[in-house]
A and B are shown apart, each in its own frame.
Chain A
């Protein structure tokens, strides 16, 4: 089968799965009840998207591959998620900022994918866009509240920008499989910058200039964090292979 399409589908799935896993770490630890529910809802939305993409990838790969094998039995270098989604939760501000960066990207991406020539991918994009619209709205408002909030929240957001900005470039640098199955990322990047700048302005946050962008995630070269994330995610299946309940 078309290996680029498989890689592209896995990339979309991995992005959603790893961020879902990160957001799920907040379960029971949210700063306030309603936000605990909000972030775990977002995590579940992303997990649903991941499952859709994994199921499709498994179908493309054939054999006895299924979504579980793809999620639980691949190792770090086989994962194609971008570096942004594996960054730590740190504090609420950094989680919010990560979500905002990623959801803006996902929103623009899925809008484009709705017209993808592959029917399955476009179908998944249509369904997921509704969820992502809400993620974008929720996270933008929080960026504004925290940025233009108290002195402390503003400082924490500045720190979060310092931490995460260097991972935003990778979103728009296409891997080879993206060049084959995706589309021109430059207009997407321009839109993303416009949106991020507008929200940052309202949030009284500065847009960083001239930051070197980290890359590698899309081709399997990840930060150290992914190892820990996968350990937690895959522990059960690896310790008790084929366990079900």
Chain B
């Protein structure tokens, strides 16, 4: 009934069939494969860096240049962040139920029960 197991999942090692992003290289090739980097771009009008994709590069400088060449060709952005994929920790899709469903019926958490005086204007 209670399947309690603690499994730490890193983005890079969620199995290919569940998440993708990994290449077809077998584990014996991985030491020759360049690391995978996740790319985040902030657009001209934007405030936050958005995830746009990933690429392989040997080091951070190359990752930034590759991202500039691949992801800003059409003026998509003015700022680039690169993070090696192995440093991104993500939730496991299988845990989605217990993580996110409980918020479904807790409407009291929304800030809609206050009457705002007119003087405050639009918050």
Residues of B within 8 A of A (CB): 34, 55-58, 61-62, 65-66, 68-70, 73
Contact = CB atoms under 8 A, between A and B. Distances in A.
Contact of A41 (B34, B56, B57, B73): B73
Given A34-B55, A34-B56, A138 B73 contact: no
Given A38-B65, A134-B68, 4 more contacts: A34-B57, A34-B66, A37-B70, A38-B69
A134 B55 CA distance: 20
B69 A137 contact: no
Interface in A116-137: 134, 137
A138 B56 contact: no
Contacts of A35: 66
A243 interface: no
Max count, chain A CB within 10 A of own CB: residue among B58, B65, B69, B70: B69
A34 B70 contact: yes
10 contacts: A32-B34, A32-B56, A34-B55, A34-B69, A35-B66, A37-B66, A37-B70, A141-B62, A141-B65, A145-B58
B62 A37 contact: no
Q: How large is the interface on A (under 10, 10 to 19, 20 to 34, 35 or more residues)?
A: 10 to 19
Which 8 A-B pairs have CB atoms at the shortest separation, nearest pair first? A34-B66, A38-B69, A37-B69, A34-B55, A41-B69, A37-B70, A34-B70, A138-B65
Contacts of B69: 34, 37-38, 41
A48 B62 CA distance: 25
A32 B68 CA distance: 15
Nearest to A35: B66
B116 to A, nearest CB: 49
Contacts of A34: 55-57, 66, 69-70
Contacts of B58: 145
Contact of A141 (B34, B55, B61, B70): B61
A210 B58 CA distance: 35
Contacts of B68: 134
Contacts of A145: 58, 62
A213 to B, nearest CB: 32
